[in-house]
Protein backbone atom coordinates (compact mmCIF):
# COMPACT_ATOMS: atom_id res chain seq x y z
CA UNK A 1 0.00 0.00 0.00
CA UNK A 2 1.29 3.41 -0.99
CA UNK A 3 0.87 6.28 1.49
CA UNK A 4 -0.53 9.40 -0.11
CA UNK A 5 0.32 12.86 1.09
CA UNK A 6 -2.16 15.73 1.27
CA UNK A 7 -1.19 17.20 -2.10
CA UNK A 8 -1.69 13.90 -3.90
CA UNK A 9 -4.95 13.29 -2.08
CA UNK A 10 -6.35 16.70 -2.99
CA UNK A 11 -5.60 16.05 -6.65
CA UNK A 12 -7.58 12.80 -6.45
CA UNK A 13 -10.73 14.30 -4.95
CA UNK A 14 -12.36 15.07 -8.31
CA UNK A 15 -11.60 11.57 -9.56
CA UNK A 16 -13.09 10.07 -6.45
CA UNK A 17 -16.30 12.08 -6.79
CA UNK A 18 -16.59 11.18 -10.46
CA UNK A 19 -15.85 7.50 -9.77
CA UNK A 20 -12.86 7.68 -12.06
CA UNK A 21 -10.35 5.78 -9.95
CA UNK A 22 -8.83 2.30 -9.78
CA UNK A 23 -9.20 0.17 -6.66
CA UNK A 24 -5.67 0.57 -5.37
CA UNK A 25 -5.81 4.34 -5.63
CA UNK A 26 -9.24 4.44 -4.06
CA UNK A 27 -8.00 2.35 -1.17
CA UNK A 28 -5.05 4.68 -0.55
CA UNK A 29 -7.29 7.69 -0.97
CA UNK A 30 -9.81 6.50 1.65
CA UNK A 31 -7.01 5.53 4.03
CA UNK A 32 -5.64 9.05 3.87
CA UNK A 33 -8.99 10.81 4.11
CA UNK A 34 -9.88 8.71 7.15
CA UNK A 35 -6.80 9.85 8.98
CA UNK A 36 -6.55 13.41 7.72
CA UNK A 37 -9.20 15.90 8.86
CA UNK A 38 -8.13 18.60 6.42
CA UNK A 39 -8.45 16.34 3.36
CA UNK A 40 -11.77 15.03 4.66
CA UNK A 41 -12.95 18.61 4.92
CA UNK A 42 -11.74 19.34 1.40
CA UNK A 43 -13.51 16.25 0.09
CA UNK A 44 -16.78 17.27 1.77
CA UNK A 45 -16.60 20.75 0.29
CA UNK A 46 -15.84 19.55 -3.23
CA UNK A 47 -18.47 16.85 -3.00
CA UNK A 48 -21.07 19.35 -1.83
CA UNK A 49 -20.18 21.78 -4.60
CA UNK A 50 -19.99 19.23 -7.42
CA UNK A 51 -22.99 17.12 -6.47
CA UNK A 52 -24.96 20.10 -5.20
CA UNK A 53 -24.69 21.85 -8.55
CA UNK A 54 -25.89 18.76 -10.40
CA UNK A 55 -28.82 18.39 -8.03
CA UNK A 56 -29.80 22.02 -8.34
CA UNK A 57 -29.85 21.61 -12.11
CA UNK A 58 -32.03 18.52 -11.79
CA UNK A 59 -34.21 20.15 -9.18
CA UNK A 60 -33.84 17.17 -6.80
CA UNK A 61 -34.03 17.45 -3.06
CA UNK A 62 -30.97 16.16 -1.29
CA UNK A 63 -29.05 15.56 1.89
CA UNK A 64 -25.50 15.76 0.64
CA UNK A 65 -23.69 15.13 3.89
CA UNK A 66 -25.58 11.89 4.27
CA UNK A 67 -24.90 11.02 0.64
CA UNK A 68 -21.17 11.56 1.00
CA UNK A 69 -21.09 9.38 4.10
CA UNK A 70 -22.98 6.66 2.34
CA UNK A 71 -20.77 6.91 -0.75
CA UNK A 72 -17.67 6.55 1.41
CA UNK A 73 -19.16 3.64 3.31
CA UNK A 74 -20.13 1.88 0.11
CA UNK A 75 -16.68 2.36 -1.38
CA UNK A 76 -15.01 1.22 1.81
CA UNK A 77 -17.21 -1.84 2.06
CA UNK A 78 -16.58 -2.70 -1.57
CA UNK A 79 -12.81 -2.42 -1.04
CA UNK A 80 -12.94 -4.49 2.13
CA UNK A 81 -14.70 -7.26 0.25
CA UNK A 82 -12.09 -7.06 -2.49
CA UNK A 83 -9.29 -7.10 0.05
CA UNK A 84 -10.65 -10.10 1.91
CA UNK A 85 -11.01 -11.90 -1.41
CA UNK A 86 -7.36 -11.15 -2.12
CA UNK A 87 -6.33 -12.27 1.36
CA UNK A 88 -8.31 -15.45 0.82
CA UNK A 89 -6.47 -15.99 -2.41
CA UNK A 90 -3.11 -15.60 -0.69
CA UNK A 91 -4.19 -18.01 2.05
CA UNK A 92 -5.11 -20.59 -0.59
CA UNK A 93 -1.75 -20.16 -2.28
CA UNK A 94 0.09 -20.49 1.03
CA UNK A 95 -1.91 -23.61 1.84
CA UNK A 96 -1.14 -25.29 -1.48
CA UNK A 97 2.54 -24.44 -1.06
CA UNK A 98 2.49 -26.02 2.39
CA UNK A 99 0.76 -29.09 1.00
CA UNK A 100 3.30 -29.41 -1.80
CA UNK A 101 6.06 -29.11 0.77
CA UNK A 102 4.53 -31.82 2.97
CA UNK A 103 4.15 -34.16 0.02
CA UNK A 104 7.75 -33.52 -0.94
CA UNK A 105 8.90 -34.40 2.60
CA UNK A 106 6.86 -37.61 2.61
CA UNK A 107 8.32 -38.61 -0.75
CA UNK A 108 11.88 -37.91 0.36
CA UNK A 109 11.51 -39.76 3.67
ZN1 LIG B 1 -4.34 15.14 4.02
Quote the ligand 1 centre to 26 CA distance (angstroms): 14
Neighbouring residues of 2: CB distance < 8 A, sequence distance ≥ 6: 24, 28
Distance 81 CA to ligand 1 centre (A): 25
pLDDT at residue number 98: 81
pLDDT, averaged across the chain? 86
Q: Report pLDDT for 39.
A: 95
Condensed to tens digits (0 to 9), the pLDDT of residues 61-94 reads: 778 888 888 889 999 888 888 888 777 777 777 7
Element (H, E) at 22: none
Question: Quick one: pLDDT at residue 1?
Answer: 58
Q: Which domain holds residue 25?
A: 6-108
Q: Does the predicted TM-score (pTM) go above 0.75?
A: no
Tell me, what DSSP letter sits at residue 61?
Answer: -
What pLDDT, on a 0 to 100 scale, did the predictor assign at position 16? 93
Per the structure, the count of domains in the chain is 1
Cα(29) to centroid(ligand 1), Å: 9
Residue 46 maps to a domain: yes
1 within a domain of the structure (yes/no): no
For 12, residues 6+ apart whose C-beta sits below 8 A from its C-beta are 4, 21, 25, 29
Amino acid sequence: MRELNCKQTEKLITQFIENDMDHATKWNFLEHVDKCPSCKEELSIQFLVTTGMQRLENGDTFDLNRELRSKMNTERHHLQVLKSLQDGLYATQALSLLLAFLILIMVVL
